[in-house]
Amino acid sequence: DLSGSITTPDVKLHLGGEFIKESTATTFLRQRGYGWLLEVEDDDPEDNKPLLEELDIDLKDIYYKIRCVLMPMPSLGFNRQVVRDNPDFWGPLAVVLFFSMISLYGQFKVVSWIITIWIFGSLTIFLLARVLGGEVAYGQVLGVIGYSLLPLIVIAPVLLVVGSFEVVSTLIKLFGVFWAAYSAASLLVGEEFKTKKPLLIYPIFLLYIYFLSLYTGV
């Protein structure tokens, strides 16, 4: 007579100074060369980044750029070139969307139209700047044009108050357009343009007039 018993092999792993008993299934897989199925990868620190860092959104940088655009006077001591030399996408997009929202008046189509004008208007300024010999990237133009919509956002609530006074309203509109155009032009129109500066400043000025017309309905 053949008799006997089959017992579960007692296999232990040494992990970090402790012995852990393996199950029969685990031992079977390891003996057959399938131990790699049981391996567990350590969490990668790169996968645990905050959402803002993952999306490359720096709120302090965006806030500083907003101040640079709203206060373009060199005497205030801001390093305004950071708006041009360190372009980002989310800040200008937020400004353009905010301008679109205050321009709604119940017309949701104006949002997509303002974003379209921002993208293609910046492309036109970029192409003109490169034709005139300027060393500027499209991302830089896109960021500067987007951030420089902030003066038009600032004058928007003022226009609601003085809208019935035509002369005062017109003066405020002109002030807002000049403010926005000056902020953008002072960053985009560098010394490399020399005597060709008006050829780039003029279309920038017209672009902000068009942005304002989308808001006021002129």
Q: Is residue 137 one of the residues assigned to a domain?
A: yes
Give 1-10 pLDDT, tens digit per residue: 555 555 545 4
Please give the average per-residue pLDDT across 33-56, as a whole number.
62
> What's the mean pLDDT when you consider all of the chain?
76
3-state secondary structure the chain: CCCCCCCCCCCEEEECCEEEECCHHHHHHHHCCCHHHHCCCCCCHHHHCCHHHHCCCCHHHHHHHHHHHHCCCHHHCCCCHHHHHCCCCHHHHHHHHHHHHHCCCCCCHHHHHHHHHHHHHHHHHHHHHHHCCCCCCHHHHHHHHHHCCHHHHHHHHHHHHHCCCHHHHHHHHHHHHHHHHHHHHHHHCCHHHHHHHHHHHHHHHHHHHHHHHHHHCC
Domain count, the chain: 1
Does residue 147 surpass a pLDDT of 70? Answer: yes
56 or 206, greater pLDDT = 206
pLDDT more than 70, % of the chain: 70
Q: Is residue 108 one of the residues assigned to a domain?
A: yes
Q: Is residue 87 one of the residues assigned to a domain?
A: yes
Q: Domain range for residue 188?
A: 59-216
Give 194-213 pLDDT, tens digit per residue: 677 788 888 999 999 988 88
Please give the average per-residue pLDDT across 110-120, as a whole number.
84
Give 153-174 pLDDT, tens digit per residue: 888 888 888 877 888 888 998 9
Q: Looking at mean pLDDT, say which of 4-13, 25-34, 39-48, 63-72 comes out highest.
A: 63-72
- pTM summary value: 0.66
Q: Is residue 98 one of the residues assigned to a domain?
A: yes
Q: Is residue 27 one of the residues assigned to a domain?
A: no
181 or 14, greater pLDDT = 181
Q: Is residue 38 one of the residues assigned to a domain?
A: no
Q: Is residue 25 one of the residues assigned to a domain?
A: no
Q: Is residue 157 one of the residues assigned to a domain?
A: yes
Confidence of residue 18 (pLDDT cuts 50, 70, 90): very low
pLDDT, position 19: 45
